[in-house]
Structure 1
Amino acid sequence: MKKEIKVSVRNLVEFVLRSGDLDTSFMGSSRAVEGTRAHTKIQNSYGDEYNKEVTLKQSFQYEDFNITVEGRADGIFKENEKTVIDEIKTTTTALDSIDEDYNEMHWAQGKCYAYIYGKLNHLDDLDVNLTYYHLDTEEMKKFRRSFFIEELESFFYFLIDRYLKWIRLTLDWTNTRDDSIRKLNFPYDVYRKGQRELAVATYNTILDEKNLFVQAPTGIGKTISTLFPSIKSLGEGIGYKIFYLTAKTITRQVALDSIENMKSKGLRIKTIVLTAKEKICLNDEVNCDPNCCSYAKGHYDRVNEAIMEILENKDIITRELVEYYAKMYNVCPFELSLDLCIFADCIICDYNYVFDPMVSLKRFFQEEREDFIFLVDEAHNLVDRARDMYSIEIYKKPFLEYKKYFKESERGLSKAFGKINSFMLGTKKWYNDENYFVRKEGIDEIILLIERLMKKLEPWLLENKEDEKYKEILDVYFSLVGFVKIWDIYDEKFITYGEKVDEDIKLKLFCLDPSHLLSETLKKGRSAVFFSATLTPLEYFKEILGGAEEDYTMKIPSPFDEKNLSLSIAEHISTRYKDRGNSYLDIAKYIETVAEGKKGNYFVFFPSYVYMEKVYEIFKERNENINTIIQSSSMEESEKEDFLKEFQDDNKTRVAFAVLGGIFSEGIDLTGDKLIGAIIVGVGLPQICLERNIIRNYFDEKNKLGYEYAYMYPGMNKVLQAAGRVIRTEKDKGVVLLIDDRFTTYKYKKLFPKEWMIYKKARNLENLKRRIEEFWE
């Protein structure tokens, strides 16, 4: 059976013939609109004989393929009995520097349209007319070439042959991959408890084209249990490409380790780890101007060769490997990695490459739905991340600054900046007594002012790249682009608010409920599996992460022996803000009691830095013999690594003080005796603030669960994550002490995992000491 291949004229030409520099420097968002208007203007300048936007399609058999090439010619007309294919290109390059051979790809598109049209209409020869239109001067320059149909056919099949080289590579690889997948067994001799159930549920979800929301405890192997069935579905032609999505770099490594494990069992699968441009750039500063970056200069002359080299020799493509080949071929590593994604079977990347409207991979998600499989790791993190992705804020201060900056040189620009500055000052009339306002509807006036400023700013940005303030002004421009983009998706799930921040004024389009926008993205793929150890309560996460009523949920109990965990609750201590001053000494004593039970390493998690530091000082003063370390508010990656290196299995007692919901309360693995206990102070409630209260009010109106959605569920999630640091494997044993009187109330106990129902109340220090001694004995 012949393989079906569909390709557009534009993609065919651009992929085969691309050459020259990579240049992602500023072009202006209105240029596309201006280009469309220019096309229409040129098309309308011809007479009635001119047919514009002509759709052309050619299907044919070639070697082992049924190939369809399609596209849309800008125009077709007759002149002196000769058929002319018109190809229009808009430019900001001076027309004097454009000659007939300016860009081979421009002629190539016209020649492809000419061949398809000539073949369909049995023509012996045609002309191709190449028109360049300057967007700023509105001047035109035209070139005309005549071609016999045999010349056009020869050129067309030259492109097809070169394109098929890549298609054959892909098809040969698919056969190799699928053969290895058919032979692949689950990479471990036995399934852990819950693993088989999760693997089967994942496979069936993909088969049924649904989404699955899974709460599964730490240690059962969620990553392999979702990846393995997803890979199986690729081999059976059910799935097309896997996106393994994470919130943190550390979880990306777990996914990569799982792929490596299956590779050692014979799996062949192209996997790439996608790294942000800012991190993978080989220069000191990200600047994709080919005059400043040797990797951008001539990038397209070399990149296809680099891609072919990697695909022929490597299955697993890490950041280090991309950097190595980028240096070898002198190409941009980020753009190289984006191109490699097209050929990858599994892409391991951050959430934002799929869900964020600003940075999502347009090459995959702008076209029609594909059989993508989304595996969303640590899915509890996606709620707030999604709110951030779909929200945008601007501050008044830059508008005042650039009003003054342009006052002498660019009066029009200065005025446009000034109008937004004045508008934001004027929002004070909406303030309440607490210096903020909240509006359900958006503010049309600010959008109009922003669009006017953008239009005036674009020509300046194009012509003043050497200006000392250029980068800062460009940042302001992109924040305005983001504001307009979010405005375009603004609906009843958003709110607009403004507030006084120090000496500045903030205006924000705030996404309260990201469920609809997430669900729209999920429709671009076949299936999604959301999994976490703390997806509690499941129905809340299913709703807010964009699940449909018919989607599946699953809760897997802990496979570990309940006797391995000692869970106590000090219910007579209040950690509410008003009571904290009276609790410092009591908490210090409870930490001592836990740490005296057995030599080893302990974490203590607090709801704030201030609270943590107060207790830390008391504890340290009372326990000079105990090694203590404390998290600082801003830690570099190296400092974080040094902090974790303190956790040694050396029969000494250490107590680490950290913040709940911070970098040490989730995503770290301290197995065995590297961590034998955790004390959690408070129920983890997010700090009371304007945004949380806005969320609360919104969900109170929607479902009467405002407090739960805004505060209680996110807080309990932090508690569950922190407690989850203690028992990581079936061999781990440890103690967890929860300190807060709210933990034993009905609403909180409802959120306890099943294995927590063994908890005991620590009524006093003696009671706790006795229980811990019995546990360790």
Structure 2
Amino acid sequence: MSLNKYFPYSSWRKYQKKIAEAVRDSIRGESILLLEAPTGVGKTSAVLAGALAALDELPDCLIFFTARTKNQAMAPFRELRLLRRRGINVLYSLFRSKREMCFLESARYMDYDEFLEFCKLERGKGCKYSASVAKLPPEELFEYCFIARSPVDFIEKCRGDELCPYEVARRLVALKAKVVIGAYPYVFDPKVQEAFFSMTGISLNQVVLVIDEAHNLSSSLSNMLSLKLSLRLIRLGRREALKYRFYDLVKDYDRLLAFYRAISKRIGDKRSILIEIDDLLTAVRSIQTFEREASALSLKKSRDEKMPKSKCYSRVVAKFLRALIEFRRGYVLSAKREEGEVTLEYRCINPASRLEKLFSNVKSAILMSATLQPKNFMVDILGIPDNRVRELRVGEIFPRENRLVIVASDVTSRYVERSEEMFKKMASYIDSAFRASPMKKAVLVVFPSYEIMKPLKRLVEEKPTVIEDEDTRIEDVIFQVRSVPKALVFAVAGGKIVEGIEIKSRGESLISTVVIAGIPYPEPDIFSNKLKELISMKYSNRSLGWEYAYAIPAAMKIKQAAGRAIRSERDKAVIVILDRRVLTDSIKKFLENLLSNYYIVNSPQKLSEKIFQFLASNPPKIDTIASSEI
């Protein structure tokens, strides 16, 4: 009964009830569930139904649904609103970055650590926005939860009534909210997590952690837990120390500048070089002294600037130096040139050491994705205890007959084989795929990198409708595709378009063909090679190191790109892979479902024939089990 109670639709899609039951049972058994289910299943509603049903038996626990982006926050929010329409009011709370939730203008100029201190001081002095929340009775607080149309609307409604959104969210947790939708740092950054859990009164063993798009978790956390220190920041710090007469800090900065000059000579024309941590640490008197003086400088600066206009640069430098001491496992220190100047990067190549405590102590966790990495990878890279892991990988929701996979055996993006002739061949395949695809549809071409996109963009005959760059907005892509008779979209593997696009019209996908123009292996750099070395040494297995660093990330990007086309049971799609290496066991074994049935072609003409024959043939087969009303 309780599974149905928390399911917001009139009937279950294929696999949804199985997922909900697995989630409920995993929480009961305090397991960590690795859930792989294809796009279109409806993972969010099924997972929430199972988790809420389990919480009926665990009144002191709550669901923490992580959201890396605002779009991700909308998924559970939408399901909770649908439940409310059915008369099931699930109290939730929502947390973005604490600084982002604050509407004091001065907050935007501060470093996050500075903001936390500023917030603490303001509350100590009696921040009126925070104090106003304490006066509200519970039923008025509930209204902010239940009337909000979106996570952003929740924050704006609080601001509109001059209430601190963070305090409203915190009080909702204290009032036994069953679901918390929160940004990554609240659970994945150990320092932020500790402060947040202390302030809200939550303990890890009360938390059922739900992570959507979990295939991105390792790379997202590597980025989040890494730090950079540019030469520009060192200069700004020195100028700041000089201005406020912290002359011992100025001397530290002079030694750091000398260190950067020496590193600049070492880099020469290389892309990047490894740096010994101790070499950098000897450039300052001591980390503790630097931190103490940076804090004193920050305090003096904040007193002089009644309205902060810039962050305290010395605090940022101190944070970087402290990280060098605190975090050694899974980190690499390197130097490279960015915009002509040296930048140091302390890169988290394996976040396991930062996450072991989290995954060992949460009540349960659900990691879900349409393209989830193998279990061993998740355990090793994320620090998940092997003995807690349970897996559910459900099959495809739409019939395989609706998909045609074609591999071109005479082309490759392999570095040593890249040439004008090879790129011309690949461009001919792209042109053939475009010509053979139907009108009123789109052909999505996914490149391993911008470096490979550049020559192919020049060589294809058809002018692309959309070319992805760092400023590309998904809504603009959808508008442009819908505005032309037939669209050609150029995107990069792992980019915004492949990660987040869903182009539909009347419930059907507008993408008829996906061309994967080369295997999207990560660029061989210091960080990938260090991860390969780390895993190879741990298991005395060189091939396993290569799989973790290169093969698995590439295979996940291929699966993700292939999944952009078929979004409903009414869709048919062609997946074209322009790289013969996909047929080698080293990567093929990670693409078993996709390559369970495929055709090999060795000319653009044969590709055209196959595509035309498939897309012009019978309409897509509809699996009635998969298409039950929802």
Tell me if TM exceeds 0.5: yes
Q: How do 1:351-366 residues align onto structure 2 when only pairs under 5 Å count?
A: 351-360=184-193, 362-364=195-197
Q: How does 1:267-416 map to 2 (within 5 A)?
A: 267-277=88-98, 279-282=100-103, 286=107, 297-306=127-136, 308=138, 310-316=140-146, 317=148, 318-343=150-175, 344-360=177-193, 362-364=195-197, 368-403=203-238, 406-407=241-242, 409-416=245-252
Task: Answer with 548-557 or 438-447: which moved more.
Answer: 438-447
Aligned partners of 2:62 and 2:208 also within 8 Å: yes
| Residues 1:640 and 2:474 aligned together | yes
Separation (CA, whole Å) in 1 of partners of 2:284 and 2:25: 46
Q: Distance in 1 between matches of 2:513 and 2:60?
A: 42
- For residue 771 of structure 1, the aligned residue among 610, 614, 629 is 610
Q: Take 1:534 and 1:327, find their aligned partners in 2: how far apart are those partners?
A: 38
SS in 2 for 1:658: strand
Instruction: Indicate if the aligned counterparts of 2:355 and 2:383 stay in contact, CA closer than 8 A.
Output: yes
Query: Scaled by the length of structure 1, what TM-score is found?
Result: 0.69
Q: Distance in 2 between matches of 1:700 and 1:181?
A: 47
Secondary structure in structure 2 of the residue aligned to 1:572: coil
Taking the aligned partners of 2:140 and 2:334, their CA distance within structure 1 comes to: 49
Provide the C-alpha distance between the structure 2 equivalents of 1:243 and 1:349, rounded to a whole number of angstroms. Answer: 7
Q: Secondary structure at the match of 2:488?
A: strand
Query: Could you say if the C-alpha distance between residues 301 and 514 of structure 1 is closer, same or farther in structure 2, counting changes exceeding 3 Å?
Result: closer
1:530 counterpart SS class: strand
| 1:713 correspondence with 2:522 | no
1:614 is matched with: 455
* Structure 1 residues 473 and 642: alpha-carbon distance in aligned structure 2, compared to 1, 3 A threshold: closer
Secondary structure of the corresponding residue to residue 384 of structure 1: helix
Deviation of residue 669 (structure 1)? 2.0
Amino acid paired to 2:480: E
Q: Deviations over 1:427-468 (max 9, x none)?
A: 679879956234488965467533212212322321233359
**Which structure dedicates a bigger proportion of its chain to helix?**
2
Deviation at 1:485, TM superposition (A): 4.7
Contact 1:375–1:530 (Cα < 8 Å) also in 2: yes
Match of 2:366 among 511, 529, 532: 529
For residues 564 and 716 of structure 1, do their structure 2 counterparts lie closer, same or farther at Cα, with a shift above 3 Å needed?
same
For 2:397 and 2:299, the matched residues in 1 are separated by 61
Match of 1:756, SS state, is coil
Is 2:376 aligned against 1:539?
yes
- Secondary structure of 1:273's counterpart equals strand
SS in 1 for 2:491: strand
Residue 379 of structure 1: how far off its partner (Å): 0.5
Contact 1:199 1:226 survives alignment (8 Å): yes
Preserved CA contact (<8 Å) 1:441 1:496: no
Partner residue in 2 for 1:750: 589
> Which amino acid counterpart does residue 195 of structure 1 have in structure 2?
Q
Identify which of structures 1 and 2 has the higher relative contact order when contacts are C-alpha pairs closer than 8 Å and 6+ apart.
2
2:200 aligned with 1:200, yes or no?
no
Q: Secondary structure at the match of 1:587?
A: helix
- Most deviating of 474-483 and 432-441: 432-441
- CA drift of 1:477 comes to 0.5
1:723 matched residue in structure 2: 562
Check conservation: 1:685, 1:711, Cα contact below 8 A.
yes
Change over 3 Å in CA distance of 1:445–1:364 after alignment to 2: same
**Residue aligning to 1:449:** 286
Tell me how far 1:680 sits from its aligned partner. 0.9
Deviates more, 1:207-216 or 1:414-423: 414-423
User: Are positions 1:604 and 2:445 aligned together?
Assistant: yes
Q: What aligned pairs does 1:573-584 form with structure 2 within 5 A after superposition? A: 573-578=411-416, 579-584=418-423
Change (3 A) 1:214 1:245: same
Question: Is the Cα–Cα contact under 8 Å of residues 424 and 505 in structure 1 kept in the other structure?
Answer: yes
Q: 2:395 aligns with which of 557, 562, 565?
A: 557
SS of residue matched to 1:209: coil
Q: How many corresponding residue pairs?
A: 588
Deviation at 1:767, TM superposition (A): 1.8
In the alignment, the residues of structure 1 paired with residue 563 and residue 42 of structure 2 have an alpha-carbon distance, to the nearest angstrom, of 14
- The 1:746–1:427 alpha-carbon spacing in structure 2 relative to 1, beyond 3 Å, is same
SS of equivalent residue, structure 1 residue 702: helix
Instruction: Give unmatched runs, 5+ long, in structure 2.
Output: 109-114, 618-630
2:537 to 688, 694, 701: 701
Query: Alpha-carbon deviation of 1:651?
Result: 8.5
Aligned-partner Cα distance in 2 for 1:448–1:436 = 25
Q: Distance in 1 between matches of 2:602 and 2:218?
A: 36
Secondary structure of 2:172's partner? helix
Counterpart AA for 1:659? V
CA distance in 2, matches of 1:484, 1:198: 43
Equivalent residues in 2 for 1:110-189 (5 A)?
A: 184=5, 186-189=7-10
Matched-pair identity in %: 22
- Shift of residue 319, structure 1, vs aligned partner: 3.2
Deviation at 1:722, TM superposition (A): 1.2
Distance 1:301 1:258, change over 3 A: closer
Q: Is the 8 A contact 1:394 1:506 kept in 2?
A: yes
Query: Which residue in 1 is equivalent to 2:410?
Result: 572
Residues 185-233 of structure 1: per-residue CA shift (max 9 Å, x gap): 5334443332222222111111111111122211111112211110111
Local SS of the residue matching 1:665:
helix
Question: Which stretches in structure 1 are left out of the alignment for 5+ residues?
Answer: 1-179
Higher share of residues assigned strand: 1
| Letter of the 1:729 counterpart | S
Q: Is the 8 A contact 2:240 2:313 kept in 1?
A: no
**Match for residue 497 of structure 2?**
664
Work out the CA distance in 2 between the residues paired with 1:327 and 1:633: 31
Higher mean C-alpha displacement, 525-534 vs 367-376: 367-376
* CA distance, structure 1, for counterparts of residue 442 and residue 180 of structure 2: 37
Q: How many angstroms apart in 2 are the aligned matches of 1:194 and 1:347?
A: 25
Question: Counterpart in 2 of 1:681?
Answer: 517
The answer for the alignment partner of 1:588 in structure 2 is 427
Encode CA deviations 1:231-270: one digit per residue, 9 max, x unaligned: 1111222661101113332232222222222222332111
Distance 1:683 1:469, change over 3 A: farther
- For the 8 Å contact 1:247–1:350, the answer to whether it is kept is yes
Question: Which secondary structure state, in structure 2, belongs to the residue aligned with residue 666 of structure 1?
Answer: helix
1:589-620 superposed Cα distances (whole Å, 9 cap, x missing partner):
2222222231111211112224323322332x
CA shift in 2, pair 1:470/1:251, >3 Å? closer
Contact 2:404/2:598 (8 A) holds in 1: yes
Counterpart Cα distance in 2 of 1:218 and 1:482: 40
Deviation of the 1:664 alpha carbon: 0.3
Quote the Cα distance in structure 1 between the aligned partners of 2:422 and 2:412. Answer: 7
In 1, Cα distance between equivalents of 2:285 and 2:307 = 25
